[in-house]
Structure 1
Amino acid sequence: MKNLSFRHFLFLFLLNRFKGDRTIKSVFHLLNGKRSSQTIQDIKWYGLTEFFSMLPTWKLSVFEQETKWMENHLFIINSDNKAHMTKKGNIIVENYFNNYDWPPQVNGWKYGQTAAIFWKRLALLVQCLSFSLEENRSYVPVFDDRDIQQWLKQRWPRNKKDKKEMAFHLYNELFILLDKIPEKDAFLFTHRLSGHQHTGKTIQQLAGLMNQDPDESYFRFQATLHYLLANAHQTTYLKDTAAGLLQKHVLTDTAKKTNMYLQKGLTIQEIAAIRGLKRSTIEDHIVELASEGTDFIIDIYVSNHLQKDIMDTVQRIRTYRLKLIKEALESENVHADYFSIRVTLAYFGGIHENARTLSI
C-alpha cells in the first residue's frame, strides 16, 4: 500500500466525526452496515446515517491491515481502545474533501437495504423493454431473481403501444432526474444499464474507464440510487419501481420481536426470560426502539427531569461517551444508569431529534 485510497479518506473523515469517542472498528461497522445496537446508536448520535453500509465489501482482515498501515504512517493514533486522527491525518483529509463534489443524496441507513432491490427491478425493466421493443427475445436477463422477475411480470405492458409509452416516460423520468446530478454520476449509472446491443459495465470496468477509485465509484453509484429513491415520488414509473420498498423507520427483526412483547405489557425481565436473552440485550432493543419508533414513550423508562439533566450535561461536556456523561451527572449529584443515558440519547438523536436540541 503506497497511497491512501477513497475508502481510507472516507474512514479518516468518519473517524474525525467520532471526535475520539469510539474505536477504529466502530467506523468499520458503520461502513460495513452492521445492524447492531451500538452502530445504530453511533450513526444517530453523530449524524452519520448517510454513510451507513456504504462500503459493505470491505473485509475485516483487510481493514485491520490497512488501518494498521495508517497508524504506522501517523495518520491516526489508537490508544486506550479509542482512536483519533493526528494533525497529519487532519490536514490530508481536509485537503481531499475541501472541494469534494459530494453526491446530492446519500442515506445508507434509509435506502441501503432497498437500493439493491430497486436497482434490480429498474435494470431488469429497462433491459426487457429495450429487447422487447426490438422484438428480440434472445437475451439473458441481467437478474434471475425470481421475486424480481415476478414483480416485472405483474407490471408488464400488454401490447407494444403500452411498452412504447412506458419506455418513453421512464426515459424522461430518468433523464430529468439524472440531469440534475454530477455528469460523472449520471454516466456511471446509465452505463451500468443493459439493453439491446448494449451490455452494462461493472463498477470495476467503469472505474477504470473513468480513472476513478472503484470504492468511490461504488459509493457514488449507491448515492445515485438513493437520489432516485428520494425523488421517486415525483414520478410515475420510478415511483412504481420503488413501491413497497421505502419504510419510515427501520428496525432489526429481533427489536421488532421485543417490541411485540412490550406492546403486550411485559417487563424487560419477563421478555428476557421468554426469549432466553440477557436483560442487557433486551435493553439494546429498547434503545433501538427509542431511536426509530414513532410511538415510543420515553417517559416510561426515563423521567422527564432526568431526560433534561442528561441532555443538558451532553451539551455542556460535548461528548457522547457514556462513562464521561455518567461521571459528569454524578458530579452534580444526579444518578443515572447507562440504560437511562442510552435511551435518552437514542430518543433525542433519532427520529425525535426535534423534540429537544441535540448537537455537539
Structure 2
Amino acid sequence: MELTYLDYLFLDLFSTEEARKVNSLFHILTGKRTVSVLMQAMRMDLEAYFSLFPKLQPTIFEEKINQFIRSDLLTFELFLTEEGKAAKDNYFDSHTRPTKNRIKYHAVLAPFKARSLFLTQVLSERIHNNKNYLPLQPRLSEQWWLKKYLKEHNLNTNENCQKLGQEWMDLIVNAKISKPEMFVEQFEGYHKTKLTNNQIGSKYNLDETEVYVQLQQDWIQLIETIEMSNSGYPLLASLLKELTRDGGLCSESAKETYQLWKAGFAIEQIAEKRFLKRSTINDHLTEMAILYEAFPFERFLDASQIDYVNNQVTAGKAIDYNDVQEKFPGIPFFQSRLMQVKGETSHERK
C-alpha cells in the first residue's frame, strides 16, 4: 500500500503505547467543541490535529484505518505497530508534520486570516489608487467591518497604508516562517492574484494537503508572534484583539457565558439567565480554563488542590482523575476536571 500525505497524517494520530478510539480521533480531527474532546486532544498530545479537517467524512476515516490494519501498520486493537511508527517518523523527516497547537486559536484562525488578507488587498489597491477590483470579501458585514477599521486607524493616506506592508515584512521574518515566498502566494493586491492551495502545490511540487497544513501552521505562528509582541505590529495586533477579546477564543455558547461571568454574575445566575444547567455553565468555564492562560483557577480550587497540581506537574506526572478522587474525597466533578486542565495547560505552557 502506497501511502499519501493524508494517510501519514491519519497514521500519526495513533500510538504504540495505547489503543486509541476511532470516534475520539474523528472528533479531534473535525473539531468537536466539547470539554471531553478538548481534554482528550491535550492528553494524547494531538492539539496540532484539532479541527484540522472539519469536513472529514467518518466513512473515509474508517476506511483508511482498515487499510492500515490490512497493511500491518495498525493492530486490530488499534495500536500503532513498530512498522507503522517507523514509516510515519521516516516520512515526516522530510515533510510537514503538524506541531502547532490549534486548540487555542481554532475559533479565530479563519476570521483572522480572512480579515488580514482582505485588509491587505484593499490597502494595496488604495495605495495605487485602483478602485476597479473584486474584493476578497463580498459579504456586506465584512465590508462594513473594513470601513469601520479603516476609519478607526486613519488608513486614508498612502503613508499610513504602507505601514501594514512593513508590519507584514517584519512579522514574517520574526515569526520565522519557513517558506516566506510560499506564504505570500495567498496574498492578493495591486497586480497580484492569490494562488489556491492546489496552485501553490503545483508551483512548489507539494501535495495540496501538505500546503494546507503548512500554511495553517504558519498562520498560527504569526498569531503567536503578534500576541508576544503587540507593540511591534499595531494594525495586525488590533485586528487580532477584536477577535479574541470578550471570550472570542471560545465556542459561541461559551462566549455568552464568558461575557456574563466577566460582568460579575455567579454560576447559578448565569445558568438561570441562559436557561441552562449549571453543569453546562461549568463546562463553559472549563473551556475558558483550557483556552485562556490567565484563567483564575484560584477562584474555584483551594490552596491544597493547586499545590497538588503544581507538585504533580513539577514531578512530570499527569493529573489522574481517580488519584484526585482518592486524594480529595467528595471533590465535585467540576473541580477535579479543573485540576486536570490546570495540569495539562501548565505542562503545555512551560
Normalised TM-score (structure 2): 0.76
Deviations 1:258-281 (A, max 9, x none): 6758953639xx959x8465x865
Deviations 1:82-130 (A, max 9, x none): x321111111122123455668x83312222212222222222222223
- Offset, 1:196: 2.5
Deviations 1:50-100 (A, max 9, x none): 432233333323222222222221212343xxx321111111122123455
In 2: Cα distance, 1:169 partner to 1:287 partner: 39
Alpha-carbon contact 2:50-2:102 (below 8 Å) kept: yes
Deviations 1:329-354 (A, max 9, x none): 89x8985789365342123223xx27
Gaps of 5+ in 2: none
Query: Which residue pairs with 2:5 in the alignment?
Result: 6
Query: Which residue pairs with 1:126 in the alignment?
Result: 120
Aligned partner of 2:342 among 329, 343, 347: 347
In 2: Cα distance, 1:67 partner to 1:183 partner: 33
Alpha-carbon contact 2:155-2:161 (below 8 Å) kept: no
Aligned partner of 1:229 among 223, 241, 255: 223
Alpha-carbon contact 2:28-2:49 (below 8 Å) kept: yes
Query: Which residue pairs with 1:288 in the alignment?
Result: 287
- Offset, 1:137: 1.9
Deviations 1:123-167 (A, max 9, x none): 222222233333332221111122321222124379x99542234
Distance 1:265 1:199, change over 3 A: closer
Query: Which residue pairs with 2:33 in the alignment?
Result: 35
Query: Which residue pairs with 1:90 in the alignment?
Result: 85
In 2: Cα distance, 1:205 partner to 1:171 partner: 24
Alpha-carbon contact 2:289-2:338 (below 8 Å) kept: yes
What letter corresponds to residue 252 of structure 1 in structure 2? S
In 2: Cα distance, 1:77 partner to 1:134 partner: 60
Alpha-carbon contact 1:41-1:288 (below 8 Å) kept: no
Structure with bigger RCO (C-alpha 8 Å, 6+ apart) = 1
- Offset, 1:311: 7.9
Q: Does 1:304 align with 2:299?
A: no
Distance 1:182 1:100, change over 3 A: farther
Distance 1:131 1:265, change over 3 A: closer
1:125-144 matches, cutoff 5 A: 125-144=119-138
For the residue of structure 1 that corresponds to 2:186, the secondary structure is coil
Distance 1:132 1:348, change over 3 A: same
Aligned partner of 2:68 among 59, 67, 70: 70
Q: Does 1:173 align with 2:175?
A: no
Distance 1:299 1:106, change over 3 A: closer
Alpha-carbon contact 1:129-1:163 (below 8 Å) kept: no
For the residue of structure 1 that corresponds to 2:13, the secondary structure is helix
What letter corresponds to residue 106 of structure 1 in structure 2? K
Query: Which residue pairs with 2:106 in the alignment?
Result: 112
In 1: Cα distance, 2:318 partner to 2:204 partner: 41
Q: How many residues align?
A: 337
In 1: Cα distance, 2:49 partner to 2:151 partner: 37
1:232-243 matches, cutoff 5 A: 232=226, 233=230, 234-243=232-241
Distance 1:336 1:303, change over 3 A: farther
Alpha-carbon contact 1:76-1:85 (below 8 Å) kept: yes
What letter corresponds to residue 14 of structure 2 in structure 1? L
Query: Which residue pairs with 2:145 in the alignment?
Result: 151
- Offset, 1:8: 2.6
Distance 1:102 1:10, change over 3 A: closer
Distance 1:334 1:226, change over 3 A: closer
Gaps of 5+ in 1: none
What letter corresponds to residue 206 of structure 1 in structure 2? I
Normalised TM-score (structure 1): 0.74
In 2: Cα distance, 1:74 partner to 1:32 partner: 26
- Offset, 1:224: 1.8
